[in-house]
Chains A and B, each alone.
Chain A
Amino acid sequence: MKRYLALCCCLLSLWLNPALNSVYAETDTGKTSTGETTTASSPHIQQLLTELTQKSLNKAVPVLEKLEQSGGEAMLPLFRTMLDGNLYFIKANRQVISVTKAESGKAFANVFTGEPLPEFTKKQIKKIRVNNRLRGYLRDAIARIQLSSSDPAAREKAVRNLLSDLDPSTIEAIQSARVNESNTAVQEMMDLALAMHKLTNAALAVDQLEAIEALSGSLESEVRNLLARVSESENYEPAVNKAAASALVKIQDKVEFYAFIDQLFFGLSLGSVLLLAAIGLAITFGVMGVINMAHGEMIMLGAYTTYVVQLMLPNHIEYSLWLAIPLAFIVSGLMGVLIERGVIRFLHGRPLETLLATFGISLILQQLVRTIFSPLNRQVASPEWMSGSIEINPVLSLTLNRLYILAFALLVFFLLQLILKKTSLGLNVRAVSQNRNMARAMGVRSDWVDAMTFGLGSGIAGIAGVALSQLTNVGPNLGQAYIIDSFMVVVFGGVGNLLGTLVAAFSLGIANKFLEPVTGAVLASILVLVFIILFIQKRPKGLFPQKGRAAE
């Protein structure tokens, strides 16, 4: 069990590490000094800004170019606001303003100084729309301006953005910035850009070979593409071609290694989703022996709880998940107890009837949700801290939401083990599941234990719903998508064995993800299913069958 803790800690430390996380901390709100404010309010720039509000989408780029030339760094807040889609203008005087969502409605501010402005009605202002071409231009422009930013991470990102488009003026800018650069990571990135430029423009083979030397080992896709081009081009001497080819092979080996790790991570992440979905079922089906077809709907209820929490607290999306986890446990858990008390206990020992009854309940719950919330999918927002990814290197980045869910799944598993192994409820549950009559004879209230077990399993499913709401659609059909997989995992892992569920979930996840690139997603899931059927033929009790008297 210590191992799980260590794993959790590892994952936690990964995201807490500020160096790795810094890629996402680039939004410094650009405090403009008074000098810049005067540039921004110069008549020439004012005129250009007015022009910007009048041009159609396709003609805006020249205006932005002029703004960049004459405004320089002072234009950074304008470009950022525009890139985020928050740039509006006042219809009456064509003055540009920034409009952002705030706690109470909308916040209006001066684009350059950030000073708050009085409120405008929807009719008084109009949005300056942007399209992909403008966004691409804005990103590049921000990169060019940011070469002299005070944040090293922003500088590094700026240089990387420029790699794909190295014209002489950019190279000049990078060269002059390189002289004063003190941060090693940024220096390396800048050297890379200069080496790329050297390789394409140097006349002598010696210089070209030197550039290849500098480029070898880099994982940037631009470098790989350049080397691939050089290795086949006839404009270079054969020695240069060869050097480029061998540098490329070295890089490819590295890339493949990271691709393998990537795939492993995908597998683990799919496994963690399967684990979350199945672990509640491992209790109700595995421990109690109830085939609960409404298990998927317990997951769905958890996801809808998240939705309702976000609906109630629209300004606290960041914390909504923390609140949703216990609430989802309670909602789904109570529903579980209700189902057990109301239906399942009357059908004890009649698995077929239980199956049909719970299937009916699942349909009722789906229709209930359709009636209350509409048949349409509901929007569950992802908190800021769950979006994006940790970029370890240019070919390997781990998406944050998956990392969190992986850690969360392991945590839930660990807690559940603790409950079953260390609490009196756990002891009673295990006693009843092993021998009901004997447990009753020893004074265990088997009725009460049944209800609690079912509630626990359903509650865990509710928690899984909170996690799944971050990955998939929250709609009435959410549960159906996971019920089959859940049963598969539990049966494969061995009924009544939580550790088996863990191993089964991860091995199925990894198998699926390694098959997928070869066979395609459709065939991969079919192959996994076929494998499980064959496996069950050979070992009907799954990976970890219960042994001894408990197996009866």
Chain B
Amino acid sequence: MKIKKLVSGMALAMGASMVSYGALAADTIKVGVLHSLSGTMAISETTLKDTVLMMVEEQNKKGGLLGKQLEAVVVDPASNWPLFAEKARELLTKDKVDVIFGGWTSVSRKSVLPVIEELNGLMFYPVQYEGEESSKNVFYTGAAPNQQAIPAVDYLMNELGVERWVLAGTDYVYPRTTNKILEAYLKAKGVADSDIMINYTPFGHSDWQSIVSDVKKFGSKGKKTAVVSTINGDANVPFYKELGNQGISSEDIPVVAFSVGEEELSGIDTKPLVGHLAAWNYFQSVDSEANEAFITNWKAFIGNPKRVTNDPMEATYIGFNMWTQAVKKAGTTDVDAVEQAMIGQKSPNLTGGVAVMNKNHHLSKPVLIGEIQDDGQFEVVWETEGVVAGDAWSDFLPGSKDLISDWTSPIKCGNYNTVTRTCSGQNF
């Protein structure tokens, strides 16, 4: 039996460069890490795996948690959405982890949801997403649309005087929902139908010629035009390159992106991107003591002075800190106790101020708009006054504006309808 385990463990370790150390140490608190280490999403998710490992190491240096050492259990769902569900089940039933940090794409989160609710696990999801969801078993430490998309549009509208809008996105759930929210929001602000252009492209789209040329035509009508981009992953670089080649500069038509961060910029030639915008809750360039310490630790941990930090890393950092605080407060790693202890937890942001976990399992965080610089960093040009509370259910969509999420008694519901005063009964 032992040999079998060892062999299978070795095979897994070789197959997907898995790290599972201290497997023999007795009585530890297990932290599951469910990030893709291979496949398309490996680009973004590997970093988050390393972030969790760093946090675990630091916590262990401080003496662990509840007198026990933390132990990271890393699995590789390989950018394969059904595999996310299987690996989550494996983590909860076989490895019996106490908490899971994981997911990037919305579809991977949606795939894990049924498993984690059935087995009553606890998951921290660290990436900006489209909202319209609140599960008892998930804490969303990334931005909801009202913490990223809406402030970005406000900035363009009020500060840059943008009147015509191109909503460009990759064709999947996050851009579709976000653009639906943005379209409703823009129309509520009096923008005419003819001043909004919506465009979807497949994953990894690389031939942007005609779309960029359409944007150019759309923007040559005399009104200030901007592109709100929910284009994801790899497709961004050819998109910006094409913009540069067709002579569209950031002064003519600025692009504000929700998926382009420091990590994505570190692999590319930033020349064509300079001056374009991104909206996040965190930028590496923000000058604060906590941020500086975090960056120094990260570079030392990863052993590469050129590695950058980004927003989902901060979200992981905040989530991890809140979880350790909640475990300490609850005095146990029992999911139900920790879940209740999580609500109201405070943790300092790396950019200054304090993040608070709200009743709807979303954070209150500041929103920053940054301009891309030629060194791949962002220069903050605008930020919200104070923090913005994450809203699980958008106020701008007809189906969701009456819904709220509140996981404290007496409501204890992820989609409570404030008009009919009912909980629709779904778990999320």
Contacts and interface: CB of A to CB of B under 8 A. Distances in A.
A270 B246 CA distance: 16
A269 interface: yes
A395 to B, nearest CB: 8
A546 interface: no
Contacts of A521: 199-202, 205, 211
Nearest to A468: B206
Contacts of A371: 17
B40 A477 contact: yes
B269 A375 contact: no
Interface stretch (B117-125, B236-244, B292-300, B417-425): B236-244
Interface stretch (A278-286, A294-302, A385-393, A530-538): A385-393
Contacts of B205: 521
Contacts of A481: 204, 206
Contact of B244 (A269, A367, A370, A387): A387
A409 interface: no
Contact of B206 (A57, A222, A266, A471): A471
Interface in B207-256: 207, 209-211, 213-214, 217, 220-222, 234, 237-238, 241-242, 244-247, 249-251, 254
Interface stretch (B84-92, B180-188, B321-329, B373-381): B373-381
Given A131-B379, A270-B207, A375-B46, A471 B238 contact: yes
A57 B267 contact: no
A462 to B, nearest CB: 19
Contacts of A139: 251
A401 to B, nearest CB: 6
Nearest to A85: B374
B330 interface: no
Contacts of B268: 377, 379, 473
B43 A375 contact: yes
Interface string A221-257: 1101100010000000000000000000000000000
A54 interface: no
A400 interface: yes
A380 B269 CA distance: 7
B128 to A, nearest CB: 20
A379 B379 contact: no
A135 B222 contact: no
B209 A270 contact: yes
Dominant secondary structure of chain A at its interface with chain B: helix
Interface in A97-142: 129, 131-132, 135-136, 139
A263 interface: yes
A473 B200 contact: no
A45 B118 CA distance: 71
A375 B207 contact: no
Nearest to A525: B202
Interface string A365-377: 0010011000111
A266 B213 contact: yes
Interface in A74-92: 85
B237 A472 contact: yes
A381 to B, nearest CB: 5
A475 interface: yes
A382 interface: yes
Contact of A520 (B17, B200, B263): B200
Contacts of B37: 375
A430 interface: no
- Pick the most buried of B17, B206, B238, B254: most chain A CB atoms within 10 A of its CB: B206
Nearest to B160: A132
Contacts of A402: 209, 245
A376 to B, nearest CB: 5
A475 B41 CA distance: 12
A200 B92 CA distance: 72
B275 A399 contact: no
Given A85-B373, A475-B43, A517-B210, A131 B244 contact: no
B206 A389 contact: no
A386 to B, nearest CB: 9
A53 B351 CA distance: 25
A376 B267 contact: yes
Contact of B371 (A132, A263, A389): A132
A25 interface: no
Contact of A387 (B199, B209, B245): B245
B156 to A, nearest CB: 11
A377 B222 contact: no
Contact of B266 (A367, A376, A477, A520): A376
Contacts of B83: none
B274 interface: yes
A178 interface: no
Given A377-B268, A522-B202, A129 B373 contact: yes
Nearest to B376: A379
B269 A381 contact: yes
B379 A389 contact: no
B195 interface: no
Report which residue of A129, A382, A472 has the largest number of chain B beta carbons within 10 angstroms of its beta carbon. A472
B231 to A, nearest CB: 11
Contacts of B249: 135
Interface string A45-57: 0000000000001
B38 interface: yes
Contact of B245 (A85, A222, A225, A389): A389
B42 interface: yes
A378 interface: yes
Contact of B209 (A222, A269, A370): A269
Interface in A263-283: 263, 266, 269-270, 273
Contacts of A263: 210
Given A135-B250, A375-B42, A379-B269, A513 B222 contact: no
A191 interface: no
Contacts of B39: 477
B238 to A, nearest CB: 5
B171 interface: yes
Given A270-B207, A402-B209, A131 B242 contact: no
A225 to B, nearest CB: 4
A210 B271 CA distance: 44
Given A376-B43, A389-B246, A517-B214, A85 B201 contact: no
Interface string A395-427: 001011110000000000000000000000000
A370 B42 contact: yes
A516 interface: yes
A381 B204 CA distance: 19
B204 A516 contact: no
A207 interface: no
Contacts of A181: none
A375 B38 contact: yes
A36 interface: no
A262 interface: yes
B209 A135 contact: no
Interface in B250-288: 250-251, 254, 263, 266-269, 271-272, 274-275
Given A224-B220, A229-B222, 12 more contacts: A132-B251, A221-B222, A222-B222, A263-B210, A266-B213, A375-B46, A376-B43, A377-B268, A378-B267, A387-B271, A400-B245, A477-B40
15 contacts: A221-B221, A262-B213, A370-B38, A377-B268, A379-B267, A399-B242, A401-B245, A472-B234, A473-B206, A481-B204, A513-B209, A516-B211, A521-B201, A522-B200, A522-B201
- The 6 tightest CB contacts between A and B, nearest first, are A221-B220, A225-B222, A377-B267, A375-B42, A472-B206, A399-B245
Interface of A: 57, 85, 129, 131-132, 135-136, 139, 221-222, 224-225, 229, 259, 262-263, 266, 269-270, 273, 367, 370-371, 375-382, 387-389, 391, 397, 399-402, 471-473, 475, 477, 481, 513, 516-517, 520-522, 525
Interface of B: 17, 37-40, 42-43, 46, 160, 171, 199-202, 204-207, 209-211, 213-214, 217, 220-222, 234, 237-238, 241-242, 244-247, 249-251, 254, 263, 266-269, 271-272, 274-275, 371, 373-374, 379, 381
